[in-house]
């Protein structure tokens, strides 16, 4: 089979959720023994430092088509590459398709990462919601099959778009490393390091986290909070630092893989009380290092037994879950062991194999 894959999102040097998924699932798919039975055409727009990324996709049965970036690249350049190569099926891990896809006559499979803008509309502007809705509806109107990273997202497609046919739930993967963070420290002064990793968007519930921290501070529980990730649509309020004094660290922007590992290595608890997610990849990144997680109840299919769950609408619920881990050593250690066990059940190789099978059999 000739399989065409859009890899533009995988070539970006500063990868976050969608980009990281695209990079990992394609890279692992090409490395599968089963991949040798197929020919792959990879299409991408030239990005900064893309040569380094391209080297990770080079295999005997892979042909790479990189074209200079230009405005509306997906609409103007990608269709010509599809006509030139004539794949039997096309896969878009980044979630987009050219507008006139049907004219190309190639069946498509697209990863729909989430419908957060529908479940939490107040976290997005009206134009942004309209754009995401249009793109998603266009994809659903033109695909042979859909992949989602979670049952939660699959249910969202049915709820908001009435779409349920040929949908495969294929979770993301993670590299399981073992416990690299510090052991439970007993709550000594400034020793509880609480970490958040992710884009600073309104749906991430940053304000709710800070409300919870005020409650923890009132209980004289000692902690430091590290808010790490690219700036999103929720501007940080410096007043939060003043209210909790030295316990809240200045927000950190996008970090390299080495810097991210340093934050994870020193984390005691990972906090992720989001209002909505398509999957929640940072949860697995923390659990893969044995770090207990506090996250929203709807993320149970990802976090499993390796987390305590909270109501993201209720800061007291967030504070209570954090306090349980900080006060109960036995609970902390049980959740730490369960976190590592849960992460070990998610693997990029498994995700890649299921994706290849879906592309072949759809």
What are the tens digits of pLDDT across the range 162-216?
999 999 999 999 987 666 545 554 444 447 899 999 888 899 998 899 899 889 8
If asked whether residues 159 and 247 sit together in one domain, one would say no
Rounded to the nearest 10 degrees, the angle between the axes of helix 206-218 and helix 315-327 is: 50
Higher pLDDT pick, 290 / 17: 290
- Distance CA(125)–CA(130), nearest Å, equals 9
pLDDT-based confidence at 229, cuts 50/70/90?
Answer: confident
Structure tokens that stand for 159 in this block = 């709820």
pLDDT at 181: 46
Give the chain's radius of gyration (CA, Å). 21
- Per cent of the chain over pLDDT 70 is 89
Helix, strand or coil for residue 307? Answer: strand
If asked whether residues 145 and 240 sit together in one domain, one would say no
If asked whether residues 270 and 291 sit together in one domain, one would say yes
If asked whether residues 22 and 164 sit together in one domain, one would say yes
If asked whether residues 49 and 104 sit together in one domain, one would say yes
pLDDT at 289: 93
If asked whether residues 76 and 90 sit together in one domain, one would say yes
Higher pLDDT pick, 8 / 317: 317
pLDDT at 227: 87
Structure tokens that stand for 116 in this block = 């957060």
Average confidence (pLDDT) over 284-296: 96
* Any domain includes 182: no
pLDDT at 218: 84
* Any domain includes 179: no
If asked whether residues 159 and 275 sit together in one domain, one would say no
Rounded to the nearest 10 degrees, the angle between the axes of helix 329-343 and helix 315-327 is: 100
Question: Which is it for the CA torsion 128, 152, 322, 284, positive or negative?
Answer: negative
**Residue 291 near residue 266, CB atoms below 8 Å:** no
If asked whether residues 277 and 153 sit together in one domain, one would say no
What are the φ/ψ torsions at residue 109 (nearest 5 degrees)?
Answer: -125, 130
* Any domain includes 184: no
Average confidence (pLDDT) over 335-362: 95
pLDDT-based confidence at 311, cuts 50/70/90?
Answer: very high
* 187-201 pLDDT per residue, tens: 444 478 999 998 888
If asked whether residues 26 and 152 sit together in one domain, one would say yes
* 104-135 pLDDT per residue, tens: 999 999 999 999 999 999 989 999 999 999 99
If asked whether residues 329 and 356 sit together in one domain, one would say no
pLDDT at 11: 84
CATH number at residue 251: 3.40.50.2000
Domain assignment of residue 43, given as a range: 2-173+347-361
Question: Which is it for the CA torsion 39, 45, 46, 52, positive or negative?
Answer: negative
pTM: 0.89
Q: How far apart are the first and last CA of the chain?
A: 12
If asked whether residues 211 and 258 sit together in one domain, one would say yes
Count structural domains, the chain. Answer: 2
If asked whether residues 128 and 55 sit together in one domain, one would say yes
């Amino acid at each position: 089979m000739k399989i065409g894959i859009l890899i533009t999102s995988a070539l970006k040097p500063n990868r976050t959720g969608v980009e990281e998924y695209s990079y990992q699932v394609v890279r692992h798919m090409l490395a599968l023994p089963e991949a040798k039975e197929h020919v792959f055409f990879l299409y991408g727009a030239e990005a900064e430092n893309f040569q380094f990324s391209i080297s990770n996709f080079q295999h005997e049965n892979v042909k790479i088509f990189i074209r200079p970036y230009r405005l509306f690249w997906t609409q103007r350049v990608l269709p010509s590459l599809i006509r030139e190569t004539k794949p039997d099926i096309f896969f878009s891990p980044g979630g987009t398709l050219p507008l006139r896809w049907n004219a190309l006559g190639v069946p498509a499979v697209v990863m729909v990462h989430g419908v957060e803008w529908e479940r939490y509309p107040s976290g997005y502007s009206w134009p942004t919601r309209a754009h995401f809705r249009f793109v998603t509806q266009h994809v659903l109107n033109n695909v042979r099959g859909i992949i989602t990273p979670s049952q939660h997202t699959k249910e969202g497609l049915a709820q908001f778009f009435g779409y349920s046919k040929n949908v495969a739930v294929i979770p993301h993967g993670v590299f399981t490393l073992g416990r690299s963070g510090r052991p439970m420290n007993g709550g000594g002064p400034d020793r509880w390091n609480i970490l958040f990793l992710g884009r600073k968007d309104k749906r991430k519930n940053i304000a709710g986290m800070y409300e919870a921290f005020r409650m923890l501070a009132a209980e004289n529980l000692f902690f430091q909070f590290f808010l790490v990730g690219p700036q999103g649509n929720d501007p940080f309020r410096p007043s939060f630092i003043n209210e909790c004094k030295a316990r809240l660290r200045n927000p950190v922007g996008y970090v390299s893989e080495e810097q991210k590992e340093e934050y994870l290595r020193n984390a005691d608890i990972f906090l992720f009380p989001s209002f909505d997610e398509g999957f929640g990849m940072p949860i697995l990144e923390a659990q893969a290092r044995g770090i207990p997680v506090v996250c929203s109840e709807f993320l149970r299919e990802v976090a499993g037994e390796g987390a305590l769950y909270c109501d993201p609408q209720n800061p007291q619920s967030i504070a209570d879950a954090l306090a349980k881990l900080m006060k109960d050593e036995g609970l902390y250690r049980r959740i730490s062991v369960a976190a590592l066990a849960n992460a070990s059940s998610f693997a990029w190789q498994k995700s890649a194999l299921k994706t290849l099978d879906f592309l072949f059999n759809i």
